Amino acid sequence: MKKVLILFFTLMGLVACGGSGKDFSSGNGSLGSDEGDGNNGEGGNGGIFIPGPGGNGSGNGGGEPVVTNKISFTNNDYAQANCSSSAASFSATLSDVDENIKGCTSSILNIPFHADHGKIATCDAASFVSLKDLPNWEYNASTRTWTFKSEDVLSTIRQVVRPGQYKMEFLDSQGNKYVSNDIHFGRAGAQNCRPAVSQTNGVIGDVKGYVDSVVTINNKKYLKGWACEEGNPKSLTIHVYLGTTLANKTLFKTHTANMFHETGVSNECKTSEAQHRFYVPLTDQEVNTHSGKKIYVYGIQQDSGTGNKLLVNSGTPTIN
For 195-208, the pLDDT digits (tens) are: 888 877 778 999 99
152 plus 263 within the same structural domain: no
Query: Is residue 18 within 8 Å of 39, Cβ to Cβ?
Result: yes
DSSP assignment, residue 78?
H
Closest residue by Cα to residue 301 from 309, 312, 310, 291: 309
Q: Which of 18-22, 42-46, 136-140, 155-159 has the highest mean pLDDT?
A: 136-140
User: pLDDT averaged over the chain?
Assistant: 80
Percentage of residues of the chain with pLDDT beyond 90: 52
| pLDDT score at 94 | 94
Query: Is residue 105 within 8 Å of 137, Cβ to Cβ?
Result: no
Angle at 278 between CA 277 and CA 279, to 5 degrees: 130
**pTM of the predicted protein model:** 0.62
163 plus 235 within the same structural domain: no
103 plus 214 within the same structural domain: no
Is there a domain that residue 320 lies in?
no
| pLDDT score at 196 | 82
Closest residue by Cα to residue 209 from 308, 291, 140: 308
| pLDDT score at 306 | 80
114 plus 20 within the same structural domain: yes
Closest residue by Cα to residue 149 from 31, 11, 316: 11
204/31: higher pLDDT: 204
125 plus 150 within the same structural domain: yes
CB-based contacts of 247, cutoff 8 Å, min separation 6: none
Mean pLDDT in residue range 5-12: 31
CB-based contacts of 61, cutoff 8 Å, min separation 6: 104, 123, 124, 125, 127, 128, 169, 171, 177
Domain that holds residue 13: 1-195
Mean pLDDT in residue range 53-70: 53
CA distances from 246 to 29, 225, 240, 250, 296 (A): 19, 18, 12, 10, 7
Q: Among 146, 168, 195, which residue terminates a domain?
A: 195
59 plus 85 within the same structural domain: yes
Domain count, the chain: 2
CA 32 to chain centre: 21
Residue 79 has pLDDT above 80, yes or no: yes
| pLDDT score at 159 | 80
Can you tell me the distance from the alpha carbon of 193 to that of 152, in angstroms, rounded to the nearest whole number?
A: 15
| pLDDT score at 64 | 57
| pLDDT score at 197 | 83
Query: Is residue 162 within 8 Å of 192, Cβ to Cβ?
Result: yes
Residue 81 Ramachandran class (φ > 0 left, ψ -120 to 50 alpha, else beta): alpha
Can you tell me the distance from the alpha carbon of 136 to that of 143, in angstroms, rounded to the nearest whole number?
A: 18
* Strand-pair category, 183-185 with 129-130: unpaired
Residue 35 has pLDDT above 90, yes or no: no
| pLDDT score at 190 | 82
138 plus 177 within the same structural domain: yes
Is there a domain that residue 113 lies in?
yes
Reported as a pLDDT band with limits 50, 70 and 90, residue 30 is very low
297/35: higher pLDDT: 297
CATH number for 211: 2.60.40
Mean pLDDT in residue range 57-70: 56
Residue 5 has pLDDT above 50, yes or no: no
| pLDDT score at 2 | 32
Query: Is residue 19 within 8 Å of 38, Cβ to Cβ?
Result: yes
138 plus 70 within the same structural domain: yes
